[in-house]
């Protein structure tokens, strides 16, 4: 494996720019997967990375060494950075000293919605977005569509919150949600505190698309009008509403419960 010790090395400079700039990652069509869990999940679901990067002091780490060996077996390029250089690139504090550079998967929007999906309208918080992706993957919902203005799905913070969910989902960014809704062949459900019907009284045994919006403003008026129906998550206490990631988890797992109830 090649060892890089100079901050003037062109490849190190390229990695540093990718790590610090979302625009650079978008232009290059690449993402950084920092840490053992994300690396293991990528190797399991997607195969070889473009590049495996390890800190010099981490080469023999008991969790890092097997990943290095697997990448080498897949004939992926592996690179060692001197610790100071690695620390300048890593997006994680106190990590184990390993990240993968991968080609960002690109999914295309279908002509019509025919299977269960999550539509995200202007979601801002990376933690919320990553949590929703994780819940969708765990609930067996494969398609996620993000409107322009939604947090970047492949940013380091969203990737960490998603815990590998990205690699089993079809994530479409900058999606025209209004057009998707217009062409939908399945019910479109939007949560609202003013709705009369609860999610527990709604038939979720078949495919549905969930419309989830901005943390403060909610779903846009155009999407609210496009919804087949509005549903409410009943709750007690003095809180007006749930966090959007928590609401998504409740909805997705109630759908999963109804789908599996007869098995």
- pLDDT, tens digit, 9 for 90 and up, residues 151-167: 999 999 999 999 999 99
Q: What is the mean pLDDT of the chain?
A: 95
CA 119/CA 190 separation, integer angstroms: 10
For 238, counting Cβ atoms within 10 Å of its Cβ (0-12 exposed, 13-18 middle, 19+ buried), the class is exposed
pLDDT for the residue numbered 216: 80
Q: Is the Cβ–Cβ distance between 211 and 121 less than 8 Å? A: yes
Q: Is the Cβ–Cβ distance between 262 and 254 less than 8 Å? A: no
- pLDDT, tens digit, 9 for 90 and up, residues 174-227: 999 999 999 999 999 998 888 889 999 999 999 999 999 888 888 899 999 999
Which residue from 83, 96, 109, 91 is spatially nearest to 21, judged by alpha carbons?
Answer: 91
- pLDDT, tens digit, 9 for 90 and up, residues 223-250: 999 999 999 999 886 777 789 999 999 9
pLDDT interval class at 38 (50, 70, 90): very high
pLDDT interval class at 262 (50, 70, 90): low
Residue 59 pLDDT > 70: yes
Residue 89 pLDDT > 70: yes
CA 31/CA 26 separation, integer angstroms: 8
Q: Is the Cβ–Cβ distance between 173 and 146 less than 8 Å? A: yes
**pTM, whole model, 2 decimals?**
0.95
For 237, counting Cβ atoms within 10 Å of its Cβ (0-12 exposed, 13-18 middle, 19+ buried), the class is exposed
Q: Where are the beta strands (DSSP E) in 92-176?
A: 98-103, 117-121, 143-146, 170-172
Report the pLDDT averaged over residues 28-43: 98
CA 3/CA 79 separation, integer angstroms: 6
Report the pLDDT averaged over residues 80-103: 95
pLDDT for the residue numbered 263: 52
Q: Is the Cβ–Cβ distance between 100 and 52 less than 8 Å? A: yes
CA 65/CA 59 separation, integer angstroms: 6
pLDDT for the residue numbered 96: 95
Which residue from 233, 227, 242 is spatially nearest to 119, judged by alpha carbons?
Answer: 227
Alpha helices in the chain (DSSP H): 10-20, 22-28, 36-45, 64-73, 83-89, 126-138, 156-162, 177-182, 221-226, 244-260
* Residue 131, helix vs strand vs coil: helix
Which residue from 127, 174, 176, 119 is spatially nearest to 143, judged by alpha carbons?
Answer: 119
């Amino acid at each position: 494996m090649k060892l890089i010790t100079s901050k003037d090395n062109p490849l190190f400079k390229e990695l540093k720019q990718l790590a610090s700039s979302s625009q650079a990652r978008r232009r290059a069509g690449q993402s950084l997967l920092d840490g053992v869990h994300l690396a293991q999940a990528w190797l399991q679901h997607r195969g070889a990375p473009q590049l495996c990067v390890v800190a010099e002091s981490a080469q023999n780490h008991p969790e890092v060494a097997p990943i290095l060996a697997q990448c080498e077996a897949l004939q992926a390029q592996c690179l060692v950075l001197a610790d100071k250089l690695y620390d300048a690139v890593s997006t994680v504090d106190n990590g184990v000293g390993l990240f993968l550079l991968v080609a960002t998967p690109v999914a295309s929007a279908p002509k019509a919605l025919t299977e269960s999906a999550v539509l995200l309208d202007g979601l801002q918080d990376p933690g919320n977005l990553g949590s929703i992706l994780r819940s969708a993957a765990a609930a067996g919902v494969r398609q996620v569509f993000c409107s322009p203005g939604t947090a970047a799905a492949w940013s380091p913070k969203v990737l960490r919150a998603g815990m590998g969910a990205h690699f089993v989902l079809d994530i479409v960014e900058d999606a025209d949600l209004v057009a998707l809704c217009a062409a939908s062949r399945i019910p479109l459900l939007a949560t609202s505190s003013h709705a009369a019907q609860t999610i527990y009284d709604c038939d979720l045994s078949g495919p549905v698309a969930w419309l989830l919006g901005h943390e403060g403003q909610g779903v846009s008026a155009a999407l609210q009008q496009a919804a087949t129906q509005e549903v409410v998550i009943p709750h007690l206490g003095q809180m007006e509403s749930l966090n959007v990631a928590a609401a998504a988890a409740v909805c997705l797992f109630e759908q999963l419960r109804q789908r599996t109830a007869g098995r």
